[in-house]
Structure 1
Amino acid sequence: MKSEYDHGETTPSVYRRVLSNPQFGLILAVTFVGMLEAALAPALPAIADALQISDGRVGLLITFFKVPSILVVPVAAIVADRYGRRVVLLPSLVLFGVVGTAMFFVETFVVLLAMATVMGIGAAAIFPITVTMLGDVYSGAANATAQGFRVAIVGIAAISIPALSGYLSGLSWNYPFALFALAFPVIVLVALFLHETIEPSASSDGVSRLTRQYSGAIRTELLNPDVRILVLGGFVRGFVRYGVLTFIPLFAVRVLDASLFEAGALLAVRGFAYVSVSPVAGSIVSRIGRKRALIVAMLVSTTALVAIPFTSSLLILSLAVFAYFAGDALFDPVMKDAVTTFGHDDYLAGVVNTLYVLKRTGQTVSPAVFGFVLTLFGYETLFVAAGALVLAYLVAFRTTFSADPRSR
């Protein structure tokens, strides 16, 4: 149930209320575990060299990791809305941690791809469930604040995990997979202390009928053009962001002669952007509104993407990468706040997971598509095309998004 203290609070009181909730801390811990997937991209150059895989092909590891989410996320949404968030979250964490750790012992790329697919099944619902649980508990400014701190935790993980993965991959290509063992203590805490945030449904409807009813309700939610353009933003963000995450380390190593550790540290720059920008997302929204905040975020990211392939040093590249993720760090929590504000309480996980289905679809096809672009045209075209796509979405968003959700 959403908090009853959502209206008329000062900003300091909202921050205190959000941060003093122990359940909020557990949700942030789960978010950090979900970010262990950030260990994959910095390890790609080492994997490519050790297993003799081309730069274009090694990105398939990300694709295989993301493929299951397209099918798993919609099913997880139905289960989470009807039977509870914990029913989905706990098994997902266990599968993610166990299989990710087991990949440490794999010695061939084909088996690595297969296990990445299984690990992706566990990973698929972790982030959507954390977003949904925050939407269950908070609304209004508190929701934007909570979502912002969630992204800040993503930022902290993005600072530490890629840099550590880059260092470990310099020792041995498979060492980064040992990081997935960090999931186990959080699994224990979730099992013992994380509360359910909704009342499970007592409906006895058959599965097929329940699925049809649920799908119809989600389609009704998506008839709102504001919701549709926000959900489409999930695809664009996922597609572009994973192109950056996958190919920035390769660009740094191949073009700027960076070491594997430097390539991992470069991705850690995004964490500083998330930590510095996302926690103030709620304050920015209260000042300029959601629509303007999202437009500013996209303008910053577009400019940075176009600049990336023309950088001549690691320092300048790191500044461009920081600018891109600063825009993303504002866009992400504000978009999710808007989506969870629009969504009907009975189908909130479904609306959020629809967002994540498109986001994960973008993440899944991105390495393959950008790998193809890289093979044919090179890095300059790859990053400029990514910037052009964000700009095209910005134009569509500015035209379509007609109302600030807080006014409804």
Structure 2
Amino acid sequence: MSNDNKHNFEPVYNDLNLRIIFLITLMAVLGVASITPAFPKISNELKIQANSVGLLIIIFTLPGIILTPVLGVMADRFGRKKVIIPSLILFGLAGTGCFFVRDFNHLLVLRFFQGVGAASIGSLNITLIGDIYEKKERTNAMGYNASLISIATASYPVIGGILASIAWYYPFALPVFALPIAFIVFFKLNNPEPVVRPELKKYFKNIFGSIKTKAALLYFFSSLVTFILLYGSFLTYFPFLLNEKFNASPLGIGVLMSTMSIVTGITSSQLGRLTDRYSKKTLLKISFLLYTIALVLFPQIETIWLLIIPTAIFGSAQGINIPSVQILLTEIASLEHRAAFMSFNGMVLRLGQTLGPLIMGGMFIFIGIDATFYTGGVIAILNFILLVTFL
């Protein structure tokens, strides 16, 4: 945390800067979690095949694969605020524009531009935590931020399900909140900006020197796998499993999906205590065992309320995994190139978010919906073996 002594006598979650970062985080997870309960309804009303609805995620995450590291470099060179404020504005305008269209192709165009706005949001919020806080406060701040992500991803499907029950396009009104948040960031966020700007050759040498270490590569690959599982098996095809197997309503889908996020929030809020007993590397390994168990269980359950069990296990894995990886990565990078370094992780996340629906969509088409979960289980256990072997 900053050296201001007043912060030493109060919990980190009371700091205004962290609360503003929380607002950014709320937008970072809004783009997907709020609309997935509407997918079956979008498929029916717009006459779109189930596997094609996943394009709403793919087209949203695709810009981040290219733009996230570029925007990270810009944030290191020109300042965090100069990147994140325009990003929030574009996210808000394009996202809200989706509310007004009734054509799937037009929807995809607006989702693309919303994805351009979202490209920096999900990495620069983590960068800001790494910039402002240190040591135990950084661990706690990351844990609280992950908890907030979980609360948001628990709430957004319920909110999205309620709104989608009115009309499929109502969940697309939610991004409008990004606009006032951009003004709050401009006027109220007090964050350190990089002062030393090394020449570009040295700057990129430092970045790539950090990225190509064995530990960093394993963390990045784990992030990739995590978001393939989350966006492929869970967020895209879990709603269809519920709809096809149990005839669940959009609201019912949202409520059950929120169970995962609630458990994630509870788990990640205890990250400080968990890291007192276990190393972050050990927690990371355990998380992929939990993913495997959950994903194998999903298609085997025949009673809808029993799905709470694998959903909670999946949520526990998320709560352990995501903040642990974020902390481990911020510890590797220095302030001068942290935004680019964390944005590379953001690019990896976007790649996972894009590949997940594609991979699982292929399994859905050629084998069936159960295969989208069994494939995820195989991927998770392979990553566990990789971490145990090399980390």
The verdict on a shared fold, with TM-score over 0.5 as the criterion, is yes
Query: What is the alpha-carbon distance in structure 2 between the residues aligned to residue 202 and residue 324 of structure 1?
Result: 42
Q: How far does the alpha carbon of each residue in 1:354-375 deviate from its partner, in whole angstroms, 9 at most, with x for none?
A: 1111111111121122111101
Query: What is the alpha-carbon distance in structure 1 between the residues aligned to residue 364 and residue 10 of structure 2?
Result: 47
Task: Tell me whether 287-296 or 117-126 shows the greater mean CA deviation.
Answer: 287-296
Query: What is the alpha-carbon distance in structure 2 between the residues aligned to residue 233 and residue 381 of structure 1?
Result: 21
Unaligned runs of at least 5 residues, structure 2:
none
Distance 1:15 1:370, change over 3 A: farther
Aligned to 2:211: 222
Unaligned runs of at least 5 residues, structure 1:
7-12, 402-408
- What SS does structure 1 have at the residue aligned with 2:246? coil
Structure 2 counterparts to residues 34-45 of structure 1, below 5 A: 34-37=28-31, 38-45=33-40
CA positional deviation for 1:376:
0.7
Runs of 4+ in 1 over 3 A off after TM superposition: 2-6, 13-17, 199-203, 212-215
Aligned to 2:309: 319
Contact 2:237 2:372 in 1 (8 A): no
- What SS does structure 1 have at the residue aligned with 2:278? helix
Query: What is the alpha-carbon distance in structure 2 between the residues aligned to residue 383 and residue 5 of structure 1?
Result: 48
- What SS does structure 1 have at the residue aligned with 2:10? helix
Q: CA RMSD in A?
A: 1.9
Contact 1:159 1:271 in 2 (8 A): yes
Query: What is the alpha-carbon distance in structure 2 between the residues aligned to residue 179 and residue 248 of structure 1?
Result: 22
Aligned to 2:349: 359
Aligned to 2:52: 57
- What SS does structure 1 have at the residue aligned with 2:236? helix
Aligned to 1:10: none
Q: Does 1:266 align with 2:261?
A: no
- What SS does structure 1 have at the residue aligned with 2:279? helix
Aligned to 1:242: 231
Structure 2 counterparts to residues 194-205 of structure 1, below 5 A: 194-201=189-196
Distance 1:15 1:377, change over 3 A: farther
Distance 1:336 1:101, change over 3 A: same
CA positional deviation for 1:188:
2.4
Q: How far does the alpha carbon of each residue in 1:291-341 deviate from its partner, in whole angstroms, 9 at most, with x for none?
A: 211122221121011101111122111321121021111110011101101
Q: How far does the alpha carbon of each residue in 1:48-74 deviate from its partner, in whole angstroms, 9 at most, with x for none?
A: 111000111111110000000011101
Q: Does 1:24 align with 2:13?
A: no
Query: What is the alpha-carbon distance in structure 2 between the residues aligned to residue 69 and residue 226 of structure 1?
Result: 23
Query: What is the alpha-carbon distance in structure 2 between the residues aligned to residue 40 and residue 356 of structure 1?
Result: 21
Q: Does 1:92 align with 2:81?
A: no
Give the fraction of aligned pairs with identical amino acids, expressed as a percent: 28
CA positional deviation for 1:4:
5.4
The amino acid across from 2:121 in the alignment is I
Contact 1:139 1:341 in 2 (8 A): no
TM-score (norm 2): 0.95
State which of 145, 155, 172 in structure 2 corresponds to 1:150: 145
The amino acid across from 1:228 in the alignment is L
Distance 1:308 1:154, change over 3 A: same
Query: What is the alpha-carbon distance in structure 1 between the residues aligned to residue 54 and residue 119 of structure 2?
Result: 18
Q: Does 1:173 align with 2:162?
A: no
Q: How far does the alpha carbon of each residue in 1:197-234 deviate from its partner, in whole angstroms, 9 at most, with x for none?
A: 2234566x6xxxx3x54433222112321111011111
CA positional deviation for 1:174:
0.6
Query: What is the alpha-carbon distance in structure 1 between the residues aligned to residue 122 and residue 220 of structure 2?
Result: 15
The amino acid across from 1:267 in the alignment is M
Matched positions, count: 388
Query: What is the alpha-carbon distance in structure 2 between the residues aligned to residue 47 and residue 380 of structure 1?
Result: 22
Q: Does 1:124 align with 2:114?
A: no
Query: What is the alpha-carbon distance in structure 2 between the residues aligned to residue 336 and residue 110 of structure 1?
Result: 35
The amino acid across from 2:84 in the alignment is L
- What SS does structure 1 have at the residue aligned with 2:330? helix
Aligned to 2:278: 288
Contact 1:43 1:165 in 2 (8 A): yes
CA positional deviation for 1:255:
1.6
Contact 2:263 2:319 in 1 (8 A): yes
Aligned to 2:326: 336
State which of 158, 162, 170 in structure 1 corresponds to 2:157: 162
Contact 1:43 1:166 in 2 (8 A): yes
Distance 1:14 1:246, change over 3 A: farther
Distance 1:159 1:14, change over 3 A: farther
Q: How far does the alpha carbon of each residue in 1:75-116 deviate from its partner, in whole angstroms, 9 at most, with x for none?
A: 111111111111111011111111111110111111111111
Contact 1:34 1:127 in 2 (8 A): yes
The amino acid across from 1:102 in the alignment is G
Query: What is the alpha-carbon distance in structure 2 between the residues aligned to residue 5 and residue 226 of structure 1?
Result: 33
Distance 1:221 1:15, change over 3 A: farther
Q: Does 1:185 align with 2:180?
A: yes
Contact 1:78 1:214 in 2 (8 A): no
Contact 1:83 1:200 in 2 (8 A): no
